Structure 1
Amino acid sequence: MVGVGAIVPRDSGDGLEILLVRRRYPPFPGRWSLPGGHLEPGETILEAARRELLEETGVEAEPLGVAHIHELVAVGPGGLPEHYVIIDVLMRYLRGEPRGDSDAEEARFVPYREALRLPLTPGARVLLEMLPEILGSCTLKPIRTEALEEEPRAQE
């Protein structure tokens, strides 16, 4: 299964904040994580990140690019393993005040140093520890999907 996570930092004026949600359902209920969810059929990674962010938190943001990929193998219903590939997208905050929804008990911008002390999901902990490197990277650029939609041309 393919999932997306939305990395939404913002400058509060007092320092860096990161948008987090407290999970309502397994895996890791009650722990803090990035907003995100499943990729829908026919949806691009960037579209999924934008949609999941808005659905889970009410926040709007512009996708900038893929920042991190990780996987999770968990025990699902009936004891069967579930394998997730999670693609985290760095996003530029545009507008909206976070609020929880049916999947998230709570959603809020958390000061970065405070976020590191919260009970986080394993993937969120790894990502938050990497956040200074991700934000300082000059290689992150918006992903352009238009080129992927063109028919390949034969070399003449």
Structure 2
Amino acid sequence: MTYKINHVAVGILRQGESIVLIQQEFTTRPPLWLLPGGMVEPGELFQEALVREIAEETGASVEKVGRLAYAMQIDHPDRREQTIAHIFEVENWTGELKSADPDNEILQVALVPLAEAPALLAEIHWIAVREPLLTYLRGECPLGTLWFYRELDGVQVLLNRLPGEASV
């Protein structure tokens, strides 16, 4: 059985007590606020994809990729597809926040106070995206935690969560 594997690189860009979020447009649902990131292209490393996607979606230049915040795997057996995402803390970044998205899907880029971000991110309808992100931002899981989901009939279910290293 052949599966398509989608690799995704996502970044958490912080500035003081705020994080960078993008508002992305979708063809079949209302726009959502998300972390910047996207697909790893063939021949590209996760770190290279992260730098490219952040530049395209936010205008920011990543100077140093930090530690792995968390990772997730979502199995979609109905579609014979898997998504494997690595979400990284970005240690240093510079630049003016302004999207240069070649796909024209980014409606806004904003520096959002951490206290306000959960309300925007709670609107994410994919539990496999929303749950790990909100748990991590609340400090309820250590760096490097691995999340495993399976989606059947459009419903994503958490199968397992393996803790990473202790927070530092």
User: Normalising by the residue count of structure 1, what TM-score does the alignment of the two structures yield?
Assistant: 0.71
- Structure 2 vs 1, CA of residues 73 and 105 (structure 1 numbering), >3 Å: closer, same or farther? farther
Across the two proteins, how many residue pairs are aligned to each other?
131
Instruction: Supply the AA of the counterpart residue of 2:13.
Output: V
In the alignment, which residue of structure 2 is the partner of 1:130?
A: 136
Q: Which runs of 5+ in 1 are unaligned?
A: 139-156
Question: Which has more radius of gyration?
Answer: 1
- Structure 2 vs 1, CA of residues 127 and 28 (structure 1 numbering), >3 Å: closer, same or farther? farther
Is this contact kept in 1: 2:65–2:92, CA < 8 A?
Answer: no
Q: Which runs of 5+ in 2 are unaligned?
A: 1-5, 144-165
Deviation per residue, 1:94-152 (Å, 9 max, x gap): 211212331311111100111111133541453133125358923xxxxxxxxxxxxxx
Q: Distance in 2 between matches of 1:10 and 1:130?
A: 17
Q: Distance in 1 between matches of 2:74 and 2:117?
A: 21
Question: Counterpart of 1:116 in 2: which secondary structure?
Answer: helix
- As a proportion of its length, which structure holds more strand? 2
- As a proportion of its length, which structure holds more helix? 1
Instruction: Supply the AA of the counterpart residue of 2:133.
Output: L
Q: Distance in 1 between matches of 2:98 and 2:70?
A: 25
In the alignment, which residue of structure 2 is the partner of 1:97?
A: 96
RMSD: 2.7
Q: How does 1:1-156 map to 2 (within 5 A)?
A: 1-11=6-16, 16-25=17-26, 29-61=30-62, 62-72=64-74, 80=79, 82-100=81-99, 101=101, 102-118=104-120, 119-120=123-124, 122=127, 123-124=129-130, 126-133=132-139, 137-138=167-168
Percent sequence identity is 28
Segments of 4+ moved more than 4 angstroms: 26-29, 79-82
Q: Distance in 2 between matches of 1:99 and 1:124?
A: 24
